[in-house]
Amino acid sequence: MTATVVIAGRPNVGKSTLFNRLAGRRLALVDDMPGLTRDRKEAEAEIGSRKIRLIDTAGLEEAEKGSIAARMRQQSETAIADGDVILFMIDARAGVTPADELFAEEVRASGKPVIVVANKCESRAGEAGYYDAFRLGMGEAVAISAEHGEGMGELHARLAEALGELGETQDEGDAAETEDERKRRPLRLAIVGRPNAGKSTLVNTLLGEERMITGPEPGLTRDSVASDFTWQGRPVKLFDTAGLRRKSRISERVEKLAVGDALNAIRFAEVVALLIDVDQALDKQDLQIADLVEREGRALVIGVNKWDLVEDRDRRLKALRERVGFALPQVKGVPVVPVSALSGRGAEKLMKAVFEVYEAWNRRVPTAALNRWFAEMLERHSPPAAAGRRIKLRYITQSNARPPTFIVFCTRPEELPESYTRYLVNGLRESFGLNSVPIRLHLRKPKNPYDDRNDRR
C-alpha cells in the first residue's frame, strides 16, 4: 500500500516549494503571494526505495464559515485526516506564531506521525525560529531551505524513518514487506576530499570496476556520480564527488557547479569518507571539509591514501591520529584508516569503520540508562554557580538520532559555561559509544505552568 505524506501549515511558509522539491519537478505554482494554493495537489514521489503519494495543501487559517478560505481549510483538514505522515511546516524567520500553535494542536490531535519542518533556514535569521519549534511539542524540527534545497537529505532520512515505523504498525504481511525494504535500503556514502586525493580510484576499487575516469590531472570528476554496490551483504549507494578546494581558487563556472554538487552529496549522505593524501595530510582545506561534514550533522571517517608509500607507518599513524584529535575535537574519536586506493589495501577496514560510525549515528540511548548517566555526571562534577546563584540541571532527553541529539532542561541555560557543555558531550561519547559522530546538545529552560510572570511582561 502506498503511504500518503501531507504537507500542511499556515499560508506562505513554503509548502508548494517543498512539494515541488520532493516531487522532483515543478508541479505547484510558487509565489510570494499567500493563498496561491487552493486545491489539494498530488504527485508521486520516492523516499529511499519506497514510493509515496505526496499532497500539497492550502494554508491553514481562520476563516468565516462558507468563505473560500473556509473551504480551502476544509480541503486541508480532509487531506490531513487521509494522510499517513504529516509534514508540518513553519517559517523559521517568523518563528512560531499563535496560528502555528493553534494548527499544531489540530495536527497533533489527528494522531498521525508528524515531522516539523522549519523552512527558510538558509541564514542565521531562521536559527531562533528553528529552536522555537520545540514549543510545538512534536520533537525536533528539520531545518531546511525548500527554495535552495538545503537540509533535504535530513528530511528524506526522517521521512524514511517515519515510513518504516508506519509499516511496523500495519498488518503482518505489510510489516514483513516494510522490514525487507528497510534491509534493502542502501547506506548513502559520499567520498570527498581535495582534488587529486584519489577519490575516483578508491571508488573504482570498492566497485571492482573502472567506473570512474582517473588520472593525474586534478578535477577530472565534475558531478557527483552515484553507484550501487554491496559490502558483506549490506547495500551501499556510493557518491564520488568533485574535489573541494578553497573558494578563492574556484574560477570556472563548471567547477563552481561541480563543487556545489559535491556539497549537495555531503548533505544527502549519511556517512562521509574524507580522503586525504598522506603527503599533504590534514592541511587547512581538509580540516574545513571535516568541519563542514560535522556542521551538516553527518558521520565522518578519514581515509589516508597512498599509505603503501609510507615508511615508519606506526609512528606516522600515531602522529596523524593525535593531530586529528587535536584539530577536530567536535568529532572526537573519528576513525583514521590508512588505505591504498590503487591496490585496495585498507579498503575493508575503511568500510568496516563506515558501518560502525553509521550505527553510532543512528543510536538511541535508552531513557533509563541516559538518566542514570546524567545523575552520575552531576554527582561527579556539578555545574558551577553563575553570579553567586546555582544553575540547576533538571533532566535530559534524547530528542532525535541521525545525529544523536539531546536536550538538557535547566535553570538559566544562557549562563551555563561552554566548558560544562563540552563535559557533558564528552561524557555522552565515552559512555554510549558515540565517537566520530556529531552530537547536538541543546539547553532549554522548563516552563513553569504556575508562573505567569512571563505572560505579564
Return the closest-CA partner of residue 200 out of 188, 215, 187: 215
* DSSP letters spanning 356-389: HHHHHHT----HHHHHHHHHHHHHHSPPPPBTTB
Q: How many helices (H) and strands (E) does the chain have?
A: 14, 15
Q: Is the residue at 130 inside a domain?
A: yes
Whether residue 55 contacts residue 11, with contact meaning beta carbons closer than 8 Å, is answered with: no
The answer to whether residues 344 and 401 belong to one domain is: no
The answer to whether residues 330 and 309 belong to one domain is: yes
Cα(435)–Cα(164) distance, integer angstroms: 26
pLDDT score of 380:
93
Edge-to-edge strand order for the sheet containing 440-444? 393-400, 405-410, 440-444
Cα(114)–Cα(406) distance, integer angstroms: 19
The answer to whether residues 277 and 130 belong to one domain is: no
Question: Chain-centre distance of CA 43, in angstroms?
Answer: 25
The answer to whether residues 158 and 198 belong to one domain is: no
Peptide bond into 113 cis (omega under 30): no
The answer to whether residues 211 and 350 belong to one domain is: yes
pLDDT score of 130:
85
Q: How far is CA 144 from CA 4, 61, 394, in A?
A: 21, 23, 31
Cα(171)–Cα(181) distance, integer angstroms: 15
Q: Is the residue at 450 inside a domain?
A: no
Q: How far is CA 168 from CA 89, 178, 187, 444, 445, in A?
A: 26, 7, 21, 33, 35
The answer to whether residues 157 and 243 belong to one domain is: no
Q: What is the pLDDT along the chain (457 residues), one digit of tens a residue?
A: 678 898 888 888 888 889 888 887 665 434 344 444 434 577 888 887 778 888 888 766 555 555 545 555 666 777 788 888 999 999 998 888 888 888 888 888 888 889 999 998 887 778 888 888 888 878 888 888 888 888 888 888 888 888 876 554 333 333 333 334 434 678 989 888 887 778 878 888 888 765 433 444 344 343 445 678 888 889 998 887 765 645 444 444 434 444 455 676 777 789 999 998 888 777 788 888 888 888 888 999 999 998 988 888 899 899 899 988 888 888 888 999 999 988 889 999 999 999 999 999 999 888 889 989 999 999 999 988 877 788 889 888 888 888 899 999 888 888 899 999 999 999 999 999 998 899 999 998 866 544 544 444 4
Q: Which of 159, 178, 197 is the last residue of a domain?
A: 178
pLDDT score of 221:
40
Question: Chain-centre distance of CA 325, in angstroms?
Answer: 23
Q: Which of 120, 152, 178 is the last residue of a domain?
A: 178
* DSSP letters spanning 282-299: T-HHHHHHHHHHHHTT-E
Whether residue 343 contacts residue 201, with contact meaning beta carbons closer than 8 Å, is answered with: no
Amino acid letter for position 60: L
CB within 8 Å of 149: residues ≥ 6 apart: 21, 264
Q: Is the residue at 457 inside a domain?
A: no
Whose cell is 555531503? That residue is 266
CB within 8 Å of 309: residues ≥ 6 apart: 278, 279
pLDDT score of 99:
84
Q: Is the residue at 455 inside a domain?
A: no
Return the closest-CA partner of residue 446 out of 416, 389, 407: 407
Count up the domains in the chain and report the number.
3
The answer to whether residues 114 and 72 belong to one domain is: yes
DSSP secondary structure letter of residue 344: -
Instruction: Indicate yes or no: pTM above 0.85.
Output: no
The answer to whether residues 311 and 170 belong to one domain is: no
At 440, which CATH number? Answer: 3.30.300.20
* DSSP letters spanning 141-182: PEE-BTTTTBTHHHHHHHHHHHHHHHHHTS-HHHHHHHHHHH
Q: Is the residue at 385 inside a domain?
A: yes
pLDDT digits (tens, 9 = 90+) for 18-72: 988 888 766 543 434 444 443 457 788 888 777 888 888 876 655 555 554 555 5
Strand partners, 143: 118
At 25, which CATH number? Answer: 3.40.50.300
Give the domain range for residue 118. Answer: 3-178
Whether residue 341 contacts residue 198, with contact meaning beta carbons closer than 8 Å, is answered with: yes
The answer to whether residues 300 and 194 belong to one domain is: yes
Return the closest-CA partner of residue 15 out of 73, 69, 91, 74: 91
Judge residue 338's burial from the number of C-beta atoms within 10 Å of its C-beta, 0-12 exposed, 13-18 middle, 19 or more buried.
buried
Whether residue 133 contacts residue 249, with contact meaning beta carbons closer than 8 Å, is answered with: no
Angle (CA) 329 333 338, round 5°: 115
pLDDT score of 349:
95
* DSSP letters spanning 47-78: ETTEEEEEEE-PPP----TTSHHHHHHHHHHH
Q: Is the residue at 69 inside a domain?
A: yes
Cell of 217: 590531472
The answer to whether residues 214 and 132 belong to one domain is: no
The answer to whether residues 232 and 125 belong to one domain is: no
Q: Which of 162, 178, 194 is the last residue of a domain?
A: 178
The answer to whether residues 208 and 67 belong to one domain is: no
Amino acid letter for position 36: L
Q: Is the residue at 451 inside a domain?
A: no
Amino acid letter for position 152: M
Q: Is the residue at 453 inside a domain?
A: no
pLDDT score of 65:
57
CB atoms within 10 A of CB 316: 16
